[in-house]
A and B are shown apart, each in its own frame.
Chain A
Amino acid sequence: MSAGSADRGSWLIRGAEVAGPGGRATVDILLADGTIAAIDTGLAEAGAQVIDAAGLIALPGLVDLHTHLREPGREDAETVETGTRAAALGGYTAVHAMANTEPVADTAGVVEQVWRLGRAAGYCDVRPVGAVTVGLAGTSLAELGTMADSAARVRVFSDDGRCVADPLLMRRALEYVKAFDGVIAQHAQDPRLTEDAQLNEGEMSGRLGLAGWPAVAEEAIIARDCLLAAHVGSALHVCHVSTAGSAEIIRWAKSKGWPVTAEVTPHHLLLTDELAVGYDPVFKVNPPLRTAADVAELRRALADGTIDCVATDHAPHPVEAKETEWSEAAFGMIGLETALRVVQQAMVDTGLLDWAGVADRMSVRPARIGRLTGHGAPLAVGGPANLTLYDPASAEVVSPAGASKSRNTPFAGMRLPGRVVATFLRGAPTVLDGKLA
């Protein structure tokens, strides 16, 4: 299928709960011609296909600011097609594809290729992220303006996987993208403080004999970048915040009114470094899993808006990249298919966030940070028919085998609440009854 060619027809979603600022309401939602035609009670079918959404929550289609689709180059781990299928099953209607492909997405040619692959697959909108520096090498700026002007219309730039460690280069990148309303998404990791680092530096790393990854390696870069962003008046987005200290620095920067935003991953909201005890590299990730105290503080920061959004950092790897010694294994976890469920467990079921808050942190704010139009609008008549129907009362054990080509999920075997029942992209279902449509 491809966008626009699917038989959109019209759909009547009957009896869904919509969470808004004014509380929750049970409504019918009529989707027609790619937009939300009506939201009301007792809507008539008028030839529309009907979905009984009793007990389901309707959320605006989720937007991921941080996805690794691996194509081009590592199609053994994921392709744009398989990755966006996983995204749709997770309730996403748009994803930002990170630049660390082979070749690196540091030219208009590569970002346009990724963008076109996304259009061809049609499961969700793919927004390529452009590399900040040529080849992610951290030495010279990539052609950011050309990528911004390309058909992919890149607005988010990141060397994710590597830190733009050179302070001068970071300053220039922040300044330069102001010309086209871009944002630099920084992977905050001081390279010297994390040489050979394997696991959060703490009790576990010492006990397991794994080289420590200190929190300060992340926090020092975030502090520096916040100061730079303030100095040049440019937009900084902080990727995958993982420590309590990072959240505190961002809270401080925001209190000054500085243009700083931040994301947290689902796994950093739920898992801790104690899981490394069996040396299973499925728990090896960059930044590393931290302590329970960090998890608690990240949840609090997401709840109070210090951290703007949840981003998956979906990082597929083939089996052999994880069936090794810990130090040999690749960093990263997949997460598109489980993100919303993890957020329910960590944030909603704990009372920290309501469903309106989830819509804000997983759709509205990430779309705003990504300068993405057509997504992330609260459900309203006339708006784009991008939405997700979710059953919070369901609960199931996570299987490692999903739509992603890779199986490196740290949640395998865990019982998580919730189930994505349906996803609509511009009025056309990409997921129905929990399966790809």
Chain B
Amino acid sequence: MKRHLISAADLSRGDALLILDTAEELARIADRPIKKLPTLRGRTVVNLFFEDSTRTRISFEAAAKRLSADVINFSAKGSSVAKGESLKDTALTLEAMGADAVVIRHGASGAAHRLAGWVQGSVVNAGDGTHEHPTQALLDAFTIRRRLRGPRGSQGGGLDGLRVTIVGDVLHSRVARSNVLLLSTLGAEVTLTAPPTLLPFAVDTWPCAVSYDLDSELPKSDVVMMLRVQQERMTAAFFPSVREYRRRYGLDATRMARLPDHAIVMHPGPMNRGVEIAAEVADSPRSTIVEQVANGVTIRMAVLYLLLGGTEFPAVAS
């Protein structure tokens, strides 16, 4: 593994499988009465969050704490950052405090990349602008593998041949970027489905297919991943109305019925129920949304463990 996790493109198939397999080992600990491991005792993980994201922050916090790391939560709101301190000065401050890893969420694409140039410790990208969110892609891959390949039999295996359809605002989605890169690395066939306005300019150069028609993609999909649509996109003329978006790209029960029986429905959260996903879909047995949250902690444990080179591998007696 490299020292940082900034882009899913940094991960070879071998790296990605190592993380998934490590997460699989760690998942067994979650079933134990005592969930904590001593591996990162004495190490400091800083959660540096420039955007509000309680879900992602507590997921990283839980992951670090289960590995016995010390966790410092640094929220930009109300801090020196709000008073105009630059990212570089914040980085130097954290450096002086001896952070072994910095988990960064930032509104600017490339912020994690820049931070990595200013600190000695490992940098984990927890979402940078409209660029990437690699741990989300890892937890999605983990969830797909567990659901469709089984938790036991899947160890060491990729997602070869699985067809994944990602639906919605790809243009502004860091989740979509990371997933396209990671899932294709793992052998999945990814199709992006969105109105043309919400697809990046040169999407034809990405390792995936593109379709404007959700209905024709659903019967072929093993996985359908719905992306959050922000209502403010409407004012920038990306689409005419929420009503029209829902009609053409929303996943409701009727559309869900077009999926093969084994297919699963994913969403990175937070959902807009009634916009991109109907409540009966979100709450259906096909939905992996709650599992994704649980798997998020496990995957982030694996990432921190591997990046910080934990010494005591949690050999689990089975």
Could you tell me which A residues sit within 8 Å of B by CB distance? 198, 201-203, 205-212, 214, 278-279, 320, 323-328
Question: Do residues A325 and B177 form an inter-chain contact, with CB atoms below 8 A?
Answer: no
Question: Do residues B132 and A209 form an inter-chain contact, with CB atoms below 8 A?
Answer: yes
Given A205-B202, A210-B110, A214-B201, 18 additional A-B pairs, CB 8 A: A202-B201, A203-B201, A206-B200, A206-B201, A206-B205, A207-B177, A209-B110, A209-B128, A209-B131, A211-B130, A212-B201, A279-B109, A320-B86, A324-B87, A324-B114, A325-B108, A325-B111, A328-B87
We find that the number of chain B residues with CB closer than 8 angstroms to chain A is: 23
The residue that B130 contacts in the complex, of A201, A209, A324, A325, with Cβ under 8 A, is: A209
Q: How far is B7's CA from A278's CA once the two chains are assembled, in angstroms?
A: 12
- Most chain A Cβ neighbours within 10 Å, of B109, B200, B206: B109
Considering the complex, which residues of chain B in the window 172-222 have a beta carbon less than 8 Å from any beta carbon of chain A? 174, 177, 200-203, 205-206
Considering the complex, which residues of chain B in the window 50-95 have a beta carbon less than 8 Å from any beta carbon of chain A? 86-88
Q: Which residues of B contact A203 (CB under 8 A)?
A: 201-202, 205
Q: How far is B130's CA from A206's CA once the two chains are assembled, in angstroms?
A: 9
Considering the complex, which residues of chain B in the window 243-273 have a beta carbon less than 8 Å from any beta carbon of chain A? none
Q: How far is B223's CA from A311's CA once the two chains are assembled, in angstroms?
A: 53
Q: How far is B85's CA from A320's CA once the two chains are assembled, in angstroms?
A: 11
Q: Which residues of A contact B177 (CB under 8 A)?
A: 207, 209
- The smallest beta-carbon distance between A208 and chain B, in angstroms, is 6
Q: Closest B-chain residue to A276, C-beta based? A: B110
Q: Which residues of B contact A326 (CB under 8 A)?
A: 108-110, 114
Question: Do residues A324 and B86 form an inter-chain contact, with CB atoms below 8 A?
Answer: yes
Q: How far is B206's CA from A278's CA once the two chains are assembled, in angstroms?
A: 19
Q: Which residues of A contact B130 (CB under 8 A)?
A: 209-211
With known contacts A279-B109, A326-B110, A206–B88 Cβ distance under 8 A: no
- Most chain B Cβ neighbours within 10 Å, of A202, A205, A209, A328: A209
- What are 22 A-B residue pairs whose CB atoms fall within 8 Å in the complex? A201-B201, A202-B202, A203-B202, A205-B200, A205-B202, A206-B201, A206-B202, A206-B203, A208-B109, A209-B132, A209-B177, A210-B109, A212-B201, A279-B109, A279-B110, A325-B87, A325-B106, A325-B108, A325-B111, A326-B109, A326-B110, A328-B108
Q: Closest A-chain residue to B50, C-beta based? A: A325
- The smallest beta-carbon distance between A216 and chain B, in angstroms, is 11
Q: Which residues of B contact A328 (CB under 8 A)?
A: 87, 108
Q: Closest A-chain residue to B106, C-beta based? A: A325
The residue that A327 contacts in the complex, of B129, B202, B205, with Cβ under 8 A, is: B129
Q: Closest B-chain residue to A323, C-beta based? A: B88
Within 8 Å of chain A (Cβ to Cβ): is B3? no
Q: Which residues of B contact A209 (CB under 8 A)?
A: 109-110, 128-132, 174, 177
Q: Closest B-chain residue to A210, C-beta based? A: B109
Q: Closest B-chain residue to A206, C-beta based? A: B200
Q: Which residues of B contact A211 (CB under 8 A)?
A: 130
Q: How far is B113's CA from A189's CA once the two chains are assembled, in angstroms?
A: 29
Q: Which residues of A contact B203 (CB under 8 A)?
A: 206
Q: How far is B117's CA from A279's CA once the two chains are assembled, in angstroms?
A: 11
Q: How far is B196's CA from A200's CA once the two chains are assembled, in angstroms?
A: 19
Question: Do residues B86 and A279 form an inter-chain contact, with CB atoms below 8 A?
Answer: no
Q: Which residues of A contact B108 (CB under 8 A)?
A: 325-328
**Interface flags, B126-153, vs A, CB<8A=1, else 0:** 0011111000000000000000000000
- Most chain B Cβ neighbours within 10 Å, of A214, A279, A323, A327: A279
Q: Closest B-chain residue to A214, C-beta based? A: B201
Q: How far is B200's CA from A205's CA once the two chains are assembled, in angstroms?
A: 8
Q: How far is B199's CA from A139's CA once the two chains are assembled, in angstroms?
A: 35
Question: Do residues A324 and B174 form an inter-chain contact, with CB atoms below 8 A?
Answer: no
With known contacts A202-B201, A202-B202, A320-B86, A208–B111 Cβ distance under 8 A: no
Q: How far is B130's CA from A326's CA once the two chains are assembled, in angstroms?
A: 12
- The smallest beta-carbon distance between B2 and chain A, in angstroms, is 15
Question: Do residues A279 and B200 form an inter-chain contact, with CB atoms below 8 A?
Answer: no
Q: Closest A-chain residue to B86, C-beta based? A: A324
- The smallest beta-carbon distance between B313 and chain A, in angstroms, is 34
Q: Closest A-chain residue to B170, C-beta based? A: A206
